[in-house]
Amino acid sequence: MVHGALAYLIGIALFAMSVSAVQAEEKVFGWVEKATLKPWGIEVKAKLDSGALTSSLDARDIELFEKDGEDWVRFRLKLENQASGETFSDTLERPLYRELTVRGAGGRDERPVVLLKVCMGNTIYEEQFSLRDRGEMNYPLLLGRRTLSHLGLLDVRRTFMQTPDCEKDAPLVAHESKD
Protein backbone atom coordinates (compact mmCIF):
# COMPACT_ATOMS: atom_id res chain seq x y z
CA MET A 1 0.00 0.00 0.00
CA VAL A 2 2.84 2.39 0.92
CA HIS A 3 4.65 1.60 -2.33
CA GLY A 4 1.47 2.27 -4.33
CA ALA A 5 0.94 5.64 -2.65
CA LEU A 6 4.59 6.56 -3.17
CA ALA A 7 4.41 5.61 -6.86
CA TYR A 8 1.21 7.66 -7.20
CA LEU A 9 2.85 10.75 -5.64
CA ILE A 10 5.94 10.39 -7.82
CA GLY A 11 3.72 10.09 -10.89
CA ILE A 12 1.81 13.26 -10.00
CA ALA A 13 5.07 15.14 -9.40
CA LEU A 14 6.49 14.04 -12.76
CA PHE A 15 3.26 15.00 -14.54
CA ALA A 16 3.29 18.46 -12.92
CA MET A 17 6.91 18.96 -13.95
CA SER A 18 6.18 17.97 -17.57
CA VAL A 19 3.17 20.33 -17.74
CA SER A 20 5.30 23.17 -16.34
CA ALA A 21 8.02 22.47 -18.92
CA VAL A 22 5.52 22.58 -21.80
CA GLN A 23 3.99 25.82 -20.50
CA ALA A 24 7.44 27.39 -20.11
CA GLU A 25 8.12 26.77 -23.81
CA GLU A 26 4.88 28.38 -25.02
CA LYS A 27 4.59 32.14 -25.32
CA VAL A 28 1.95 33.81 -23.21
CA PHE A 29 -0.07 36.69 -24.65
CA GLY A 30 -2.40 39.11 -22.91
CA TRP A 31 -5.93 39.88 -24.08
CA VAL A 32 -4.59 43.10 -25.68
CA GLU A 33 -1.24 43.12 -27.45
CA LYS A 34 0.67 45.21 -29.95
CA ALA A 35 0.93 43.62 -33.38
CA THR A 36 2.75 44.72 -36.53
CA LEU A 37 1.05 44.40 -39.92
CA LYS A 38 3.51 43.20 -42.54
CA PRO A 39 5.00 44.32 -44.86
CA TRP A 40 3.95 47.88 -43.94
CA GLY A 41 5.41 47.86 -40.43
CA ILE A 42 2.28 49.39 -38.87
CA GLU A 43 2.13 48.67 -35.14
CA VAL A 44 -1.48 48.52 -33.91
CA LYS A 45 -3.31 47.47 -30.78
CA ALA A 46 -4.89 44.05 -31.19
CA LYS A 47 -7.61 42.46 -29.10
CA LEU A 48 -7.15 38.71 -28.73
CA ASP A 49 -10.73 37.40 -28.72
CA SER A 50 -11.40 33.71 -28.14
CA GLY A 51 -15.10 34.39 -28.82
CA ALA A 52 -14.42 35.18 -32.49
CA LEU A 53 -13.39 32.51 -34.97
CA THR A 54 -11.97 34.72 -37.73
CA SER A 55 -9.67 37.68 -37.20
CA SER A 56 -10.88 41.10 -38.32
CA LEU A 57 -9.15 44.27 -39.53
CA ASP A 58 -10.46 47.84 -39.66
CA ALA A 59 -10.85 48.67 -43.36
CA ARG A 60 -12.77 51.37 -45.21
CA ASP A 61 -14.09 51.84 -48.75
CA ILE A 62 -14.20 48.08 -49.33
CA GLU A 63 -14.97 47.02 -52.90
CA LEU A 64 -14.81 43.71 -54.73
CA PHE A 65 -13.44 43.65 -58.27
CA GLU A 66 -12.05 41.23 -60.83
CA LYS A 67 -8.38 41.14 -61.81
CA ASP A 68 -7.00 38.64 -64.33
CA GLY A 69 -10.15 36.53 -63.97
CA GLU A 70 -9.82 36.31 -60.17
CA ASP A 71 -11.83 37.98 -57.40
CA TRP A 72 -9.94 40.70 -55.55
CA VAL A 73 -10.69 43.22 -52.80
CA ARG A 74 -9.68 46.88 -52.73
CA PHE A 75 -9.79 48.58 -49.33
CA ARG A 76 -8.36 51.54 -47.49
CA LEU A 77 -6.44 51.27 -44.25
CA LYS A 78 -6.31 54.27 -41.95
CA LEU A 79 -4.53 53.18 -38.80
CA GLU A 80 -2.60 54.96 -36.08
CA ASN A 81 0.90 53.52 -35.87
CA GLN A 82 1.41 52.89 -32.13
CA ALA A 83 5.20 52.98 -32.55
CA SER A 84 5.40 56.43 -34.20
CA GLY A 85 2.03 58.06 -33.46
CA GLU A 86 1.63 58.78 -37.18
CA THR A 87 -1.41 57.78 -39.20
CA PHE A 88 -0.87 55.20 -41.93
CA SER A 89 -3.35 55.64 -44.76
CA ASP A 90 -3.20 53.68 -47.99
CA THR A 91 -5.44 51.85 -50.44
CA LEU A 92 -4.53 48.18 -50.79
CA GLU A 93 -5.54 45.38 -53.13
CA ARG A 94 -5.51 41.72 -52.14
CA PRO A 95 -6.92 38.52 -53.65
CA LEU A 96 -10.26 37.57 -52.12
CA TYR A 97 -9.67 34.46 -50.02
CA ARG A 98 -13.34 33.84 -49.27
CA GLU A 99 -16.52 35.60 -48.18
CA LEU A 100 -17.74 35.36 -44.61
CA THR A 101 -21.36 35.58 -43.49
CA VAL A 102 -21.74 36.99 -39.99
CA ARG A 103 -25.07 36.61 -38.23
CA GLY A 104 -25.88 38.88 -35.32
CA ALA A 105 -28.63 40.88 -33.65
CA GLY A 106 -28.60 43.31 -36.58
CA GLY A 107 -29.08 40.55 -39.16
CA ARG A 108 -26.64 39.08 -41.67
CA ASP A 109 -23.47 40.77 -42.82
CA GLU A 110 -21.27 39.63 -45.73
CA ARG A 111 -17.57 40.39 -45.30
CA PRO A 112 -14.61 39.76 -47.61
CA VAL A 113 -11.71 37.79 -46.15
CA VAL A 114 -8.09 38.24 -47.24
CA LEU A 115 -4.79 36.70 -46.18
CA LEU A 116 -2.41 39.10 -44.44
CA LYS A 117 0.72 38.75 -42.33
CA VAL A 118 0.96 39.95 -38.75
CA CYS A 119 3.94 39.93 -36.39
CA MET A 120 3.17 38.79 -32.84
CA GLY A 121 6.12 38.44 -30.50
CA ASN A 122 9.01 37.43 -32.75
CA THR A 123 7.00 35.34 -35.24
CA ILE A 124 5.09 36.29 -38.41
CA TYR A 125 1.70 34.65 -38.87
CA GLU A 126 -0.12 34.53 -42.22
CA GLU A 127 -3.79 34.57 -41.28
CA GLN A 128 -7.33 35.16 -42.54
CA PHE A 129 -8.73 38.63 -41.84
CA SER A 130 -12.29 39.70 -42.47
CA LEU A 131 -12.47 43.33 -43.56
CA ARG A 132 -14.97 45.69 -41.96
CA ASP A 133 -15.23 49.21 -40.67
CA ARG A 134 -14.15 48.88 -37.04
CA GLY A 135 -13.96 52.66 -36.54
CA GLU A 136 -16.43 52.48 -33.65
CA MET A 137 -14.36 49.76 -31.95
CA ASN A 138 -11.54 50.29 -29.45
CA TYR A 139 -9.13 48.03 -31.33
CA PRO A 140 -8.53 48.15 -35.11
CA LEU A 141 -7.33 44.55 -35.13
CA LEU A 142 -9.13 41.60 -33.60
CA LEU A 143 -7.40 38.22 -33.52
CA GLY A 144 -9.81 35.28 -33.44
CA ARG A 145 -9.38 31.61 -32.56
CA ARG A 146 -7.91 30.64 -35.94
CA THR A 147 -4.96 32.92 -35.17
CA LEU A 148 -4.92 32.34 -31.41
CA SER A 149 -4.50 28.60 -31.96
CA HIS A 150 -1.02 29.30 -33.38
CA LEU A 151 0.16 31.86 -30.84
CA GLY A 152 0.43 30.03 -27.53
CA LEU A 153 -1.34 30.71 -24.27
CA LEU A 154 -3.78 33.56 -23.59
CA ASP A 155 -3.79 35.20 -20.15
CA VAL A 156 -7.04 37.19 -20.01
CA ARG A 157 -5.88 38.98 -16.85
CA ARG A 158 -2.91 40.66 -18.54
CA THR A 159 -2.13 43.00 -21.45
CA PHE A 160 0.97 43.81 -23.50
CA MET A 161 3.03 40.76 -22.54
CA GLN A 162 4.82 40.45 -25.90
CA THR A 163 6.48 43.10 -28.07
CA PRO A 164 6.27 42.64 -31.85
CA ASP A 165 9.86 42.24 -33.06
CA CYS A 166 10.03 40.46 -36.42
CA GLU A 167 13.16 40.87 -38.47
CA LYS A 168 13.40 39.77 -42.12
CA ASP A 169 14.52 36.30 -41.01
CA ALA A 170 11.72 35.91 -38.43
CA PRO A 171 9.94 32.55 -38.47
CA LEU A 172 6.79 32.49 -40.61
CA VAL A 173 3.76 30.39 -39.73
CA ALA A 174 2.07 30.04 -43.12
CA HIS A 175 -1.70 29.88 -43.43
CA GLU A 176 -3.12 26.37 -43.55
CA SER A 177 -6.24 26.03 -45.66
CA LYS A 178 -8.61 24.40 -43.15
CA ASP A 179 -11.81 26.44 -43.21
Q: Cα–Cα distance between 83 and 71 in angstroms, integer?
A: 34
The pLDDT of residue 66 is 98
User: Which residues neighbour 163 within 8 Å (Cβ) at sequence distance 6 or greater?
Assistant: 34, 121
Q: Which domains, ranges and CATH numbers included, belong to the chain?
A: 28-173 (2.40.70.10)
Instruction: Please give the share of the chain, as a percent, with pLDDT higher than 90.
Output: 74
Q: pLDDT-based confidence at 23, cuts 50/70/90?
A: very low
Closest by alpha carbon to 160, among 60, 31, 3?
31
- The closest of 82, 84, 35, 29 to 56, measured between CA atoms, is 35
Q: What's the pLDDT tens digit per position in 96-108?
A: 999 999 887 778 8
67: buried, middle or exposed (CB in 10 Å: 19+, 13-18, 0-12)?
exposed
- Radius of gyration from C-alpha coordinates of the chain: 20
Range name among 16-25, 38-47, 81-90, 167-176 with the lowest pLDDT average: 16-25
Indicate the average pLDDT of the chain: 88
**Quick one: average pLDDT of 55-67?**
97
Residues in the chain: 179
For the cut 80, the answer to whether the pLDDT of residue 13 exceeds it is no
Q: What is the pLDDT of residue 42?
A: 95
Q: CA geometry: angle at 101 spanning 97 and 106, to 5°?
A: 145
Cα–Cα distances (Å) from 35 to 1, 32, 52, 69, 164, in that order, read 55, 9, 18, 33, 6
Q: Look up the pTM and report it.
A: 0.81
Each residue's pLDDT tens digit, 116-142: 999 999 999 999 999 999 988 899 999
